[in-house]
Amino acid sequence: MKKVKTKDAYLIVEGLAIYSVISKKLKVGGYWDNFIPLYKFFDNPRILLIGVGGGTMLRQMEKLGYKNYLGIDNNREILKFLEKNIREKVKIIDGFEFMKTNKEKFDLIIVDAYKGIINPLKFYSNEFLTNSYNSLKSKGIISYNHVLNVLSPFLFFKLKMRKDFDFKIRLGLNSVIIGLKNIERSDFERKIKKLSSYYNTLI
């Protein structure tokens, strides 16, 4: 991984993949912005991010005043790209393994555990989804950044068949997958639409 300067930001890149944007702005012009309304859905959320990358989402949480988060990543190299206050809230461990033994409860779990363009299939497994459900508070949300690929129709169908979460999918090159735990879909849609017009087309 390396840090590359652009006109008004820095990019954390590896090969052709952009892992993070370091910017003074809240919105950085990439898929990371799609998750901002989810942070704001809760008043004072405890957030778990699986797949920190160069820390774009964690910086956005900080800019919004949300400091009650935990980042999980299996790549120790990312730590050198993170500010000290963020680095202190990141654990270097595989996210799938972390969820096997986690006892803490979160309002929001975000899965962005990409290596290049591949999000390991284990993060769509029944075991991971069950562990995630148990790691959410009585009302909570799990959300994925999902890059469209040939397996997407199968994965979307698999998630839709899960009975514990009410899954919603907002299609795009970087699809936003949202699983609701004990949150009425109509209540979610009403509040999200107030937070960001981007989410008006969720299906």
CATH at 188: 3.40.50.150
Q: What is the pLDDT of residue 198?
A: 47
Give the pair of three-digit tokens for residue 178: 């949202």
Q: What is the pLDDT of residue 30?
A: 84
Q: Is the pLDDT of residue 199 over 60?
A: no
Q: What is the pLDDT of residue 143?
A: 96
Residue 13 is assigned to a structural domain of this protein: no
Residue 23 is assigned to a structural domain of this protein: no
Residue 2 is assigned to a structural domain of this protein: no
Q: Average pLDDT, stretch 155-175?
A: 91
* pLDDT tier for residue 171 given thresholds of 50, 70 and 90: confident
Residue 108 is assigned to a structural domain of this protein: yes
Residue 15 is assigned to a structural domain of this protein: no
Q: Average pLDDT, stretch 42-60?
A: 93
Q: Is the pLDDT of residue 200 over 70?
A: no
Q: Is the pLDDT of residue 60 over 80?
A: yes
Pairing relation of β-strands 69-73 and 47-50? parallel
* Cβ count within 10 A of residue 84: 6
Residue 88 is assigned to a structural domain of this protein: yes
Q: How far apart are CA 54 and CA 5, in angstroms?
A: 14
Q: Average pLDDT, stretch 150-158?
A: 92
Domain of 107, in residue numbers: 28-201
Residue 122 is assigned to a structural domain of this protein: yes
| Share above pLDDT 90 across residues of the chain, in percent, rounded to a whole number | 60
Residue 5 is assigned to a structural domain of this protein: no
Q: Is the pLDDT of residue 117 over 90?
A: no
Q: Is the pLDDT of residue 203 over 80?
A: no
Q: What is the pLDDT of residue 29?
A: 83
Residues 6+ apart with CB under 8 A from 203: 168, 169, 170, 171
- Domains: count for the chain: 1
